[in-house]
Structure 1
Amino acid sequence: MFLKAKKSKIPIEPFFAEQLRQKPGMKVREPQIELALEIEDAIIRGKKFIGEAEVGTGKSFAYLIPVINEIIRTEKPGLISTGTIVLQDQLVKRDIPALSKYLNEFGYLDQDIVVYLGKGKEQYMCPQNLDKEIANAIEKELDFTEFIPLDAGLKLGKYDRSDFPDVGIDTWKKVCVMGCSGKCKERGCAYKLYKNQRSLKSYHILVCNHHYLLSCLKDPAFSISSFGTVIIDEAHNLESIAQSIYGISGNEQSFQSKLKQLIAMARSRGMYRKADANSILKYNKSFFRKIKEAALTRDEFEVEQRYKVDIDAKIQEMAQELFRKADRLCDQASIALEFSKSKSEQDKIDRIYDGIYRMLSKIIEYKDNNIFWVDVSRKNGAIQINAVPKNIDEILFRKLFSVNVPVILTSATMSTETSTEGFDYFASGIGIDLIPLPHYKDPVSKKSPYDFSKQAGIYIEQELQYVRKGEAGQALYMQKKADKIFDIIQVTNGKALVLFTSYTAMDTTYSLIAEKISQQMGIKCYKQGMGSRDRLLEEFSRDINACLFATGSFWEGIDVKGPALSCVIIDKLPFPVMDPVLEHKVEKMNISEQDIIRLDMIIKLKQGAGRLIRDETDTGVLAIMDSRASRRYSGLIMDNLPSFKVLKNINEIAPFIGGFKQVV
Structure 2
Amino acid sequence: MISAADRAEALLQVVTESLPRAEHRPGQIRMARRVAQAIAAGERLVVQAGTGTGKTLGYLVPVIASGLTTVVATYTKALQDQLAEVDLPLLQKVLNDRHLADPFSWAVLKGRNNYLCRQRLHEIETRGEELELEDASRGVRNEVRKLVNWSAETDSGEMSEVPFPVSDSAWRSVSVGSDVCPGKLKCAFGDTCYTELARDAARAANVVVVNFSLYGLDLEAEREFLPEHDVVVFDEVHELEDVISDTASVMLAGGSAANVAEAVRKVLPSKKVANALATSGRDLDTALTDRKDQRLSNPLPTDLDIILRGMKEQALLLADALASVADETPELLRAKSATKRLSDALHESLSTDSNRVAFVTGGDHPRLVSAPLSVARVLAPVWLSQTAILTSATIPRSLPDRLGLAIDAETRLDVESPFDYETNALLYLADDLPDPDAPGRNRALHARIRQLVQYSDGSALVLFTSRKAMREAVDELRGALDDIAVLSQDDMGKKALLDAFKTDIRSCLFATRSFFQGVDVPGDALRLVILDKVPFPMRTDPLLEARRDLLGQSAFMQIDVPIAAATLAQAAGRLI
TM-score normalised by length of structure 1 = 0.75
Aligned to 1:356: 342
Partners of 1:46 and 1:427 in 2: CA distance: 17
| Counterparts in 2 of 1:97 and 1:111: CA distance versus 1, 3 Å | farther
1:619 corresponds to: none
Structure 1 8/356 Cα, relative in aligned 2: closer, same or farther at 3 Å? Answer: closer
Counterpart-to-counterpart distance in 1, 2:449 and 2:95? 49
TM-aligned CA deviation for residue 527 of structure 1? 1.4
CA RMSD of aligned residues (A): 3.3
1:124 Cα deviation (Å)? 0.8
Alpha-carbon spacing, 1:527–1:131, altered in 2? closer, same or farther (3 Å): farther
Counterpart residue type for residue 514 of structure 1: R
Secondary structure in 2 matching 1:549: strand
Q: Structure 1 counterpart of 2:338, which letter?
A: I
Matches of 2:546 and 2:382 in 1, distance apart? Answer: 22
Q: Provide the rounded CA distance (Å) in 1 between the counterparts of 2:256 and 2:225.
A: 33
Report the secondary structure of 2:395's partner residue: coil
Deviation at 1:524, TM superposition (A): 5.1
Contact 1:48 1:441 in 2 (8 A): no
Q: Which residue of 2 aligns with 1:660?
A: none
Aligned counterpart, 1:58: 54
* Equivalence for 2:458: 494
Given that 1:510 and 1:527 are in contact with CA atoms closer than 8 Å, whether structure 2 keeps it comes out as no
- Quick one: which of 113, 116, 119 aligns to 1:122? 113
C-alpha distance in 2 between matches for 1:604 and 1:141: 43
Query: For 1:396, which of 368, 379, 385 is the aligned residue?
Result: 379
Deviation sequence 1:137-181 (CA, Å, 0-9, x none) = 545485313424534543542621223484333432332244243
Cα distance in structure 1, aligned partners of 2:219 and 2:311:
32
Contact 1:255-1:356 within 8 A present in 2 as well = yes
Moved more, 55-64 or 564-573: 564-573
Unaligned ranges ≥5, structure 2: none
Matched AA of 1:478: N
Partner of 2:575: 612
Q: What is the deviation of 1:345?
A: 0.8
8 Å contact kept, 1:224–1:400 = no
Aligned to 2:483: 521
Letter in 2 for 1:408: I
- Counterpart CA distance in 2 for 1:385 and 1:563 is 46
- Looking at structure 1, the residues matched to 313 and 219 of structure 2 have their Cα atoms a distance apart, in angstroms, of 32
Give 1:246 deviation, angstroms. 1.2
> Aligned equivalents of 1:516 and 1:343: distance in 2?
63
Counterpart in the other structure of 2:446: 482
Q: Which runs of 5+ in 1 are unaligned?
A: 1-5, 296-300, 416-422, 614-664
Name the counterpart of 1:636: none
SS at match of 1:458: coil
1:78 aligns with 2:54: no
| Deviation of the 1:542 alpha carbon | 4.1
The separation in 2 between residues aligned to 1:240 and 1:32, in whole angstroms, is 28
Q: Decide whether the 8 Å contact of 1:96 with 1:113 is kept in 2.
A: no
| Equivalent of residue 443 in structure 1, options 412, 426, 429 | 412
- Secondary structure of 1:80's counterpart equals strand
Distance 1:478 1:146 in 2: 44
**How far apart, CA to CA, are the structure 1 residues paired with 2:472 and 2:125?**
41
- Return the alpha-carbon distance in structure 2 between the equivalents of residues 135 and 482 of structure 1: 58
Match of 2:395?
414
Per-residue deviation at 1:531? 4.4
- Deviation, 1:187, is 8.6
Take 1:491 and 1:254, find their aligned partners in 2: how far apart are those partners? 52
Determine if contact 1:9/1:69 at 8 Å carries over to the other structure. Answer: no
Contact 1:259 1:326 in 2 (8 A): no
Q: State whether structure 2 residue 246 is matched by structure 1 residue 247.
A: no
Structure 2: how far apart are the matches of 1:98 and 1:26? 14
Question: Aligned-pair distance for 1:56?
Answer: 0.4
- The residue that corresponds to 1:45 in the other structure is 41
- Tell me, in whole angstroms, the C-alpha distance in 2 between the residues paired with 1:116 and 1:489: 43
Distance 1:8 1:256, change over 3 A: closer
Q: Is 1:102 equivalent to 2:94 in the alignment?
A: yes
From 505, 523, 529, the counterpart of 1:562: 523
1:427 to 382, 400, 412: 400
- What is the rounded CA distance, in whole Å, between the counterparts of 2:94 and 2:347 in structure 1? 54
CA deviations over 1:433-464 (Å, ceiling 9, x no partner): 2x7x7xx9431211110112232222222332
- The 3 A distance-change label for structure 1 pair 225 and 323 is closer
Distance in 1 of aligned mates of 2:446 and 2:30 = 44
- Which shows bigger deviation, 135-144 or 152-161? 135-144
1:320: Cα distance to partner?
Answer: 1.1
Amino acid in the other structure paired with 1:465: P
Mapping for residues 532-543 of structure 1, pairs under 5 Å: 532-543=493-504
C-alpha separation in 2, matches of 1:389 and 1:497: 35
Within 5 A, what are the aligned runs for 1:496-515?
Answer: 496-514=460-478
**Equivalent position of 1:169 in the other structure:** 168
Letter in 2 for 1:309: L
Equivalent position amino acid for 1:427 in 2: P
Q: 1:259 aligns with which of 261, 276, 281?
A: 261
Give 1:645's aligned residue: none
Cα distance change on mapping 1:250 and 1:565 into 2, 3 Å: farther
> Does 2:422 match 1:453?
yes
User: Structure 2 vs 1, CA of residues 12 and 497 (structure 1 numbering), >3 Å: closer, same or farther?
Assistant: same
Q: Which moved more, 1:116-125 or 1:132-141?
A: 132-141
Q: What SS does structure 1 have at the residue aligned with 2:412?
A: strand
Q: State the 1:332 CA deviation.
A: 6.2
Quick one: distance in 1 between partners of 2:470 and 2:400? 32
Distance 1:111 1:15, change over 3 A: closer
Counterpart CA distance in 2 for 1:251 and 1:325 is 15
Alpha carbons 2:434, 2:444 under 8 Å: kept? no
Alignment correspondent of 1:585: 547
User: What is the CA distance between 1:513 and its match in structure 2?
Assistant: 2.7
Query: Which residue of 299, 308, 316 maps to 1:319?
Result: 308
Q: TM-score, normalised by structure 2?
A: 0.86
The 3 A distance-change label for structure 1 pair 322 and 597 is same
Distance 1:587 1:225, change over 3 A: farther
Give 1:465's aligned residue.
434
SS in 2 for 1:87: helix
Shift of 1:352: 2.4
Aligned-partner residue type, residue 347 of structure 1:
L
Q: Aligned partners of 1:407 and 1:591: how far apart in 2?
A: 32
Residue in structure 2 matched with residue 374 of structure 1 by the alignment: 360
| Aligned ranges 1:613-652 → 2 under 5 Å | 613=576
Distance 1:368 1:491 in 2: 54
Deviation at 1:18, TM superposition (A): 7.5
Tell me the amino acid that sits aligned with residue 403 of structure 2: I
- Whether the 8 Å contact between 2:457 and 2:484 is mirrored in structure 1 is no
Q: Which residue does the alignment assign to 2:234?
A: 232
How far residue 426 of structure 1 moved from its aligned partner, in angstroms, is: 0.5
Q: What percent identity do the matched residue pairs reach? A: 24
Letter in 2 for 1:467: P
Is the alpha carbon distance of 1:8 and 1:430 closer, same or farther for their aligned partners in structure 2, counting shifts above 3 Å? Answer: closer
Contact 1:166 1:532 in 2 (8 A): no
The 3 A distance-change label for structure 1 pair 343 and 441 is farther
Q: CA deviation at 1:400?
A: 0.3
Structure 1 position 309, deviation (Å): 1.8
| One-letter amino acid of the counterpart of residue 384, structure 2 | S
1:58 shift after superposition: 0.8
Say which of 560, 563, 569 aligns to 1:600: 563
Preserved contact between residue 459 and residue 526 of structure 2 (Cα < 8 Å): yes
1:515 & 1:361 partners in 2: Cα distance?
55
Please report how far the alpha carbon of residue 33 of structure 1 lies from its aligned counterpart in structure 2 after TM superposition.
Answer: 0.9
